[in-house]
């Protein structure tokens, strides 16, 4: 009887440990979609203070230090996040500090850039001129953008202004 109880307890504990998640799984809420992970090599505490000072400019909800080099920035709207993600390449031009910004995405949201990269690789193999951007891809002048609702790539029709010669 005693051995059975110990083995049952051991099995129960083992099953619970197998079921527990190793890392917290984010929910698919809108709040999680607006998070950015900022990794800085030098001067993290000063940069977090700077981010908090600029909250009005970017509508930052919160800036939290996660470790010695990582900061989680929560934004209030999607437009600010898109603006930051588009302009993040400008951070590489700062010679004194190395700052990296990535999306804090759920597992399903990570599929979007992967599909964009796969599409770009396929088209490059076919000899097409490909430009990969944030949430969109340009293939020989045709722009494809990621549709959040349908979760597919859709072709965007861009209206170019017509130049009418003046007499």
Query: Which pLDDT value is given to residue 82?
Result: 78
Query: Which pLDDT value is given to residue 20?
Result: 40
- Give the distance between the most distant pair of CA atoms in the chain: 103
CB contact set of 98 (below 8 Å; sequence gap of 6+): 40, 41, 42
Q: Is the pLDDT of residue 37 over 80?
A: no
**Is-contact 119 110, C-beta < 8 A?**
no
Enumerate long-range contacts of 148-157, CB under 8 Å, 24 or more apart: 151/111, 151/112, 153/115, 153/116, 153/119
Name the residue with higher pLDDT: 152 or 95.
152
Is residue 81 in a domain? yes
Sheet holding 142-147, edge to edge: 130-133, 136-139, 142-147, 152-156
How many domains would you assign to the chain?
2
Residue 39, Cβ density class (10 Å: 0-12 exposed, 13-18 middle, ≥19 buried): middle
Q: How confident is the model at residue 165 (pLDDT cuts 50, 70, 90)?
A: low
The CATH number of the domain where 97 resides is what? 3.30.70.330
> 84 with 137, same domain?
no
pTM over 0.85: no
pLDDT > 70: what percent of the chain? 50
**Domain end: 103, 121, 140, which one?**
103
Q: Is the pLDDT of residue 141 over 80?
A: yes
Q: Is the pLDDT of residue 28 over 60?
A: no
End-to-end CA, the chain:
103
**Domain end: 103, 128, 144, which one?**
103
Query: Which pLDDT value is given to residue 125?
Result: 92
Domain that holds residue 60: 30-103
């Amino acid at each position: 009887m005693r051995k059975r109880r110990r083995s049952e307890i051991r099995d129960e504990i083992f099953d619970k440990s197998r079921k527990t998640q190793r890392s917290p799984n984010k929910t698919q809420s809108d709040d999680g979609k607006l998070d950015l992970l900022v990794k800085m090599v030098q001067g993290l505490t000063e940069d977090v203070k700077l981010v908090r000072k600029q909250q009005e400019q970017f509508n930052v909800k919160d800036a939290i230090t996660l470790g010695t080099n990582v900061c989680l920035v929560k934004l209030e709207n999607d437009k600010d996040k898109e603006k930051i993600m588009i302009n993040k390449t400008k951070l590489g031009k700062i010679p004194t500090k190395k700052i990296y910004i990535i999306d804090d995405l759920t597992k399903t949201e990570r599929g979007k850039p992967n599909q964009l990269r796969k599409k770009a690789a396929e088209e490059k193999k076919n000899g097409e001129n490909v430009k990969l951007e944030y949430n969109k891809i340009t293939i020989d002048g045709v722009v494809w953008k990621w549709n959040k609702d349908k979760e597919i790539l859709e072709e965007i029709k861009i209206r170019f202004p017509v130049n009418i010669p003046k007499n």
